[in-house]
């Protein structure tokens, strides 16, 4: 095997490995589900890539301690679709159920969170 052929094969293998890594890290949907909570805010922000970001507060019970106490969890998410973001901007303070996709990494043009809301299930 010549040096040129060796480096060509090595380059192809490296390019394939990088492509697989980028796909799994940024485009593979790791998880999918529904979260419910009180919508705190939705904003449109960013320096170079303007994206919609939001936060919902989920109330729940903390069973880790011996005394049961109410604890709130924050669900921070990005919104890829402008129409969904516009709808959520009108729902501040309401209880919402949101369907989301979870990625292993965030892309600047998709939003700064790994959780990306793709639909609204219910608003109460």
> Per-residue b/e over 83-116, b at no fewer than 16 CB within 10 Å?
ebbebbbebeeeebebebbebeebbeebbebbbb
C-alpha 50/C-alpha 78 separation (Å) is 11
pTM assigned to the model: 0.82
* pLDDT score of 111 more than 80: yes
C-alpha 98/C-alpha 96 separation (Å) is 6
Sign of CA dihedral 14, 20, 21, 27: positive
Which SS3 state, helix, strand or coil, does residue 71 take?
strand
* pLDDT score of 71 more than 80: no
Contact (CB, 8 A) for 95 and 118: no
2-35 pLDDT, tens digit each: 888 999 999 999 999 999 999 999 999 999 999 9
Q: What is the pLDDT of residue 11?
A: 94
Q: What is the pLDDT of residue 18?
A: 97
Q: Average pLDDT of 34-63?
A: 90
Length of the chain: 124
């Amino acid at each position: 095997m010549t040096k040129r052929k060796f480096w060509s094969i090595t380059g192809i293998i490296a390019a394939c490995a990088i492509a697989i890594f980028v796909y799994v890290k940024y485009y593979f949907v790791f998880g999918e589900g529904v979260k419910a909570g009180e919508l705190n805010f939705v904003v449109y922000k960013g320096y170079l890539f303007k994206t919609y970001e939001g936060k919902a507060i989920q109330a729940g019970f903390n069973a880790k301690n011996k005394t049961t106490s109410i604890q709130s969890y924050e669900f921070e998410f990005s919104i890829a679709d402008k129409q969904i973001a516009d709808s959520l901007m009108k729902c501040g303070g309401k209880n919402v159920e949101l369907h989301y996709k979870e990625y292993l990494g965030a892309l600047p043009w998709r939003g700064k969170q790994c959780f990306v809301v793709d639909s609204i299930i219910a608003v109460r």
